[in-house]
Amino acid sequence: MERTSNRALPLILAREFAANVATPFVVLDADGTLVFFNEPAEELIGQSPSELGELPEDEWKGRFSVERRDGSPVANEDTPTAIARRERRPAHETLVYTSLDGIRRTIAVTATPILEREDELVGVIALFWEVAGE
């Protein structure tokens, strides 16, 4: 009989952490798939996790256009979450996100790789903090 595989424990705990705090967090797996975001992050994403399910990286990033505050574009591979995943280091930048409904938000993104054992990336947890007044 095929048995169910567990997600890596640090990813489970990251999801539980995000689910229990009032700051907006998203959780990505090692492939960049959006596996969870909490209620405070729903406003940014526009839907709830139960409505969206898990989204591959190109799909969830396709829900926004992203630029820097000076208006210059940001490639998908240059966002903090992509850097954290690729380079296995924390990354931070304040970016302007425009969602499909046209709403623009200035958001400080802080992404941290989740490493298991010595150097095995199991995911990324990222704080999406809306900058007030912009």
Burial class (CB in 10 A: 0-12, 13-18, 19+), 4: exposed
Please report whether residue 117 would count as binding other proteins according to CB under 8 A: yes
Please report whether residue 85 would count as binding other proteins according to CB under 8 A: no
Whether the CB-CB separation of 67 and 95 falls below 8 Å is answered with yes
- Beta bridge partners, 4, equal none
Please report whether residue 50 would count as binding other proteins according to CB under 8 A: no
Q: Which stretch binds other proteins (CB under 8 A): 56-64, 78-86, 99-107, 111-119?
A: 111-119
Burial class (CB in 10 A: 0-12, 13-18, 19+), 109: buried
H or E stretch covering 84: helix 80-87
Q: Which stretch binds other proteins (CB under 8 A): 72-80, 90-98, 99-107, 114-122?
A: 114-122
Kindly identify the residues of this chain, within the stretch 9-48, that bind other proteins according to CB under 8 A. Answer: 9, 12-13, 15-17, 19-20
Count of residues in contact with other proteins, rule CB under 8 A = 18
Number of Cβ atoms within 10 Å of the Cβ of 68: 13
Cα–Cα distances (Å) from 45 to 72, 78, 86, in that order, read 22, 19, 23
Between 6 and 72, name the residue whose CB sits nearer to other proteins: 6
Candidate list 77, 118, 132, 133; residue touching other proteins; CB under 8 A:
118
Site residues, other proteins (CB under 8 A): 1, 3-9, 12-13, 15-17, 19-20, 116-118
